[in-house]
A and B are shown apart, each in its own frame.
Chain A
């Protein structure tokens, strides 16, 4: 009995210290980890539009514009180069507390052709999640079984950061309250890389997704259908668009159709012309839009989102959507400076 008490006491002291250690040392990437951690802070059933997918979501779908101009309470719950299986578990985790009117699923990673991810991708797409079966399954699906414990014991991944710690690791909101308090996952960039619009001859040939990607892509659609949540599958414009991307998206669109969901490849010349995208100024690199591009793109897709009966929450007086309002105020303050 005495020994059992000693063990419990020792573990309690160790775990208390470890909690602080973990908070300081762990990765805080905005491109996956901090996004879902911010998501957990949202009040129950306040996210009306849940935007899922890879980094193209949090650089393309501008949640600030959606709120300020349309009153749409949207959240970009995405991660860098996020494969469909991690997206699936993000969705499952999100649906624990939210019941969105619409899920926007960005389809870039339907092109995913590997079954196992590198350490960086696993970290950004799983480590932000709270401990739950979803997190465990998300990790286990991403990595070969011999490395599972390297991710379940997260310190194995982050312990070497001792020489890279900065004030961001010790202060709340990554040390930048104006940028990250009530953050909705959107990451703006003012960089630009001049490019030309990819010339791809459009056709309706369907490509092939890898079996693992298709399996989880379908699970996402099935889950949404089961929960009665409509889905828009979309391919956000990118410079690195080619025939293969188009064919894979055609397949993604075909599969979405099977479930009765709509899909749009916004890389077509017609779409790009209508949204006014300028490839010379609106991309920060070959995949991601910059702020200017995201504003044009978001204004273009907002009416499609509104079609699903998403309400304008700006005039809501219940206080439920205050975090979106506060986010807009902080953004205005930051811009004024």
Chain B
């Protein structure tokens, strides 16, 4: 009997497991099986049920909040379509947005409050991501930009789509809903492409990010013992960790959705090649950036009301971004940093152009672009110090500690103190080379790397994918004793 109970629990547990565990892939396999054996028009039911079980098994109480918020938006969207009076429409829209936004803020506060006690159990999985999608959906319905989904079950299948509840992306329901609720026929090439994307995501997360995390945790876990270049190395590793962790997670999510024939929006586009902070935000966390632009920055007036107002709008938008990330002052300061960078970049643009002309600097050369990318990288590092620190005071202390000239640590073996052995550093280095080569190919080719590989001969393709599988299997940091279950952006 005990064994039978345990066996039943197993099927609940596979929905709560991290997306790098065998449980997740087992669940994905089961869902694919049921999805493709059902008739086309009923396939969305698999998502409806999977979302319910997923939300329930992660947070037994949170599902009530989730259903309540989704029901409120669904109801409002349906009513908005029927009501003719603009005044009533505005009231319904404003009330629902305020209600859901307040719940989101309250839930994020509860996430932060360690002693929230029983109330903390009501925080649903992925609220930060699907709530933004809900608000955007309602705004689009209000503006008449999309037709509301009348079937509440289909609405739930779409709004709570289980892969995006992990770490996004923030989907635009008006664009994605139709894909989720319509049935997709099995497409071999698309299915393989999804699996390949998942594999690449696992490589970034388990091989690169988890190793970078060791260095980051060593330094930031005991920041008083480190100074000078140690801090900057750790912060650079944090940048790499964050990117590989988040984009790896997104690759797994997008790959998972692709297995069902669903194409979710991209969240990253080679952010390390950004030549300005503004460009960085068009390449980093694209869906959140797009949401903030469409539903905060532009409604505030965007750049249509003069420079002063534009700068104020930027500041507000990035403060909201900071608050969304953590709700504490340190994240708001991180957001302000990015706003200040953009404002300063805009204010000095003319002067910088004139300086280049005076000094006869060709802005189109590789060298100049590399310099621009390096500046963006460094400015990001400064901002990431806030992002990584527990509070503003600690961040400022970290800056003080970082102002020290100790270049000998690169030569006297001191880097061994950072938690990675020489062999582990070597694995990290080789993995980064693979990652950079792939990124480079991506940057020069209009097609995706996977489609380029698909165009190669079969032995080469197989050798490549099988090698990558064994690299991930062997050098990935997962399994007992590893902390690869969680993703940084899952906390937001």
A binding-site residues for B, Cβ under 8 Å: 3, 6, 10, 13-14, 17, 21, 25, 119, 140-141, 144-146, 148-150, 152-153, 155-157, 159-160, 162-163, 212
The 7 listed contacts between A and B (C-beta, < 8 Å) are: A3-B188, A13-B466, A140-B6, A145-B13, A149-B21, A157-B480, A160-B479
Chain A residues positioned under 8 Å from B462 (CB to CB): 10, 13
Within B11-33, which residues are at the interface with A (CB < 8 Å)?
13-14, 16-17, 21-23, 26
Tell me if B17 and A162 are in contact (CB < 8 A). Answer: no
B7: nearest chain-A partner, CB-CB: A145
Tell me if B26 and A149 are in contact (CB < 8 A). Answer: yes
Tell me if B17 and A146 are in contact (CB < 8 A). Answer: yes
Tell me if B9 and A150 are in contact (CB < 8 A). Answer: no
B8: nearest chain-A partner, CB-CB: A145
Give a binary string over B466-483; 1 marks a CB under 8 Å from any A CB, 0 the rest. 100110011111111000
A275 to B477, CA, bound (A): 51
Chain A residues positioned under 8 Å from B479 (CB to CB): 150, 156-157, 159-160
Chain B residues positioned under 8 Å from A146 (CB to CB): 9-10, 13, 16-17, 23
A69 to B102, CA, bound (A): 83
A2: nearest chain-B partner, CB-CB: B188
Contact of A150 among B22, B188, B475 (CB under 8 A): B22
Contact of A163 among B14, B17, B21, B423 (CB under 8 A): B423
Chain B residues positioned under 8 Å from A21 (CB to CB): 470, 473
* A115 CB → nearest B CB, Å: 9
A212 to B478, CA, bound (A): 30
Chain B residues positioned under 8 Å from A162 (CB to CB): 474-475
Chain B residues positioned under 8 Å from A145 (CB to CB): 6-7, 9-10, 13
Tell me if A14 and B480 are in contact (CB < 8 A). Answer: no
B465: nearest chain-A partner, CB-CB: A10
Tell me if B3 and A152 are in contact (CB < 8 A). Answer: no
Interface size bracket, B side: 20 to 34
- Total cross-chain contacts (CB, 8 A): 61
Excluding A3-B188, A145-B6, A155-B473, 16 further A-B contacts by CB distance (< 8 Å) are: A10-B462, A13-B462, A14-B469, A21-B470, A25-B474, A119-B480, A145-B10, A149-B26, A150-B22, A153-B22, A156-B22, A159-B476, A160-B477, A160-B479, A162-B474, A212-B2
Tell me if B9 and A17 are in contact (CB < 8 A). Answer: no
* B60 CB → nearest A CB, Å: 16
Tell me if A144 and B6 are in contact (CB < 8 A). Answer: yes
Among A25, A144, A146, chain B packs the most CB atoms within 10 A around the CB of A146
B binding-site residues for A, Cβ under 8 Å: 2-3, 6-7, 9-10, 13-14, 16-17, 21-23, 26, 188, 421, 423, 458, 462, 466, 469-470, 473-480
Chain A residues positioned under 8 Å from B473 (CB to CB): 21, 155, 159
Chain A residues positioned under 8 Å from B22 (CB to CB): 149-150, 152-153, 156
A231 to B474, CA, bound (A): 44
Tell me if A141 and B23 are in contact (CB < 8 A). Answer: no
* A152 CB → nearest B CB, Å: 7
* B240 CB → nearest A CB, Å: 21
Chain A residues positioned under 8 Å from B474 (CB to CB): 25, 159, 162
A73 to B135, CA, bound (A): 76
Chain A residues positioned under 8 Å from B478 (CB to CB): 156, 159
A6: nearest chain-B partner, CB-CB: B458
Chain A residues positioned under 8 Å from B21 (CB to CB): 149-150
Among A6, A13, A140, A156, chain B packs the most CB atoms within 10 A around the CB of A156
A69 to B432, CA, bound (A): 62
Tell me if B470 and A17 are in contact (CB < 8 A). Answer: yes
* A29 CB → nearest B CB, Å: 15
* A248 CB → nearest B CB, Å: 22
B472: nearest chain-A partner, CB-CB: A159
A215: nearest chain-B partner, CB-CB: B2
* A11 CB → nearest B CB, Å: 10
Chain B residues positioned under 8 Å from A150 (CB to CB): 21-22, 479-480
A155: nearest chain-B partner, CB-CB: B473
A313 to B477, CA, bound (A): 51
A158 to B421, CA, bound (A): 19
Chain B residues positioned under 8 Å from A160 (CB to CB): 477, 479
A17: nearest chain-B partner, CB-CB: B466
A158: nearest chain-B partner, CB-CB: B479
Chain B residues positioned under 8 Å from A14 (CB to CB): 466, 469
Chain B residues positioned under 8 Å from A156 (CB to CB): 22, 478-480
Chain B residues positioned under 8 Å from A157 (CB to CB): 479-480
* A158 CB → nearest B CB, Å: 9
A143 to B478, CA, bound (A): 18
B463: nearest chain-A partner, CB-CB: A13
Chain A residues positioned under 8 Å from B17 (CB to CB): 146
Among A25, A144, A153, A159, chain B packs the most CB atoms within 10 A around the CB of A159
A162 to B7, CA, bound (A): 33
User: Which 4 A-B pairs have CB atoms at the shortest separation, nearest pair first?
Assistant: A146-B13, A145-B10, A149-B22, A156-B479
A148 to B462, CA, bound (A): 30
A14 to B463, CA, bound (A): 10
